[in-house]
Structure 1
Amino acid sequence: MKIDPTQRYKRELVAILSRLKKDKKIEKYQYDLLFPTAENIPRIYGTPKIHKPGNKVRPIVDYTGTIGYQTSRALADILSPLVGGTEHHVTNSKHLAESLAEVMIEEGEIFNSHDVVSLFTNTPIDESLNVIKARLEHDKTLSKRTLLALGVIRTLLDRMNSVISEKEDKDQKEGKIKHALKQCGYPEWTFNHVKRKMDRKQQATKVPGV
């Protein structure tokens, strides 16, 4: 990554928040709360897993004070009612112990416990976002928690996802533009034609005397 994209991400987030305030989807106090005042870059550190052989380090990303910190907290409040809606959900270790106390092991049966290696760091982000979006689409109480449209929540989720490289960011934006044009009835060749012209113009500006 050649340059720090923090300022660009901040401008994009502020533009989204300004539009939401203008459309009266959020109140002024909410806008002031979500407005990114800090510009810290997410910091990564590690804690040793002293309970496991080799004492491997668990990577943790500290998001406190970053441009999307308050927005992430607001999204967490919107998404929190979706958690725990299945029969397999366990709240904490006490809940697990109480549930296991009712389990009777019959003769010839064994109790098997599995350990997941690097659970959160191996969770596929794209698939997780798709699951969240699908749950939101079927959430009948969403309108009681927020005035934000589902599409806006999706946009914020995508933006809060992670800091990506400049090339990846460009490729993703081009893909979204292509999709939007296709939805409006434009064939893909129109985008490719314009992009080639823009690329040639950009290359020409880099050549002295042209």
Structure 2
Amino acid sequence: MELLPIRRAILSVTDKSGLAEFAAFLSGNGVELVSTGGTKKAMTDAGLPVTAVDQVTGFPEMLGGRVKTLHPHIHAGILADKDNPEHLETLEKFSLKPFDLICVNLYDFAKAVAQKADLKAAVEQIDIGGPTMLRASAKNFHSILVVPSPAYYGEITEALKANKMQAPLALRHKMALETFKATSAYDAMIAEYLGRA
């Protein structure tokens, strides 16, 4: 689809700069916000209505936070092709709701390395759910808008304002490209660290 209406979003970010303003813009334009842990707290503290991921999945965060978003209620909603009637029928059959915007930035692995964390502590700063959501969203950019960094909040806000809360395909394509660049750089950093650890 050329213009994607933005109605439901997941926000799960390590870098919370600009988060309250961006989330307030989305919420103020009727977008349902879903979030995890610290991101949810930051938005709740800003007075925004937010649904916890565990309310969506029906499972609590577990394994010390390692498992939060790895669930069909999240990933089916991210990966569904909204132009494919079979995908939409599957969502309906299993009472799954699609997402339209995924805003994720990753655990700060570089900071853990810079602080000379030991190998076990550094490994705990390798994000799993974040890259999974980012890559799934970037793959499915025809049906979802992915936001991999606060650096894009302004551009995305302006594009949504200009298009009545609909994300143009060209913007979604651009964000998918930037997302794959970001996840590739993240994996390269981890590989480089493990190669010398």
Q: TM-score, normalised by structure 1?
A: 0.28
Q: Which has the higher contact order (CA 8 A, sep 6+)?
A: 2
Give the structure with higher Rg (CA): 1
User: Which structure shows the bigger proportion of residues in strand conformation?
Assistant: 2
Q: TM-score, normalised by structure 2?
A: 0.30
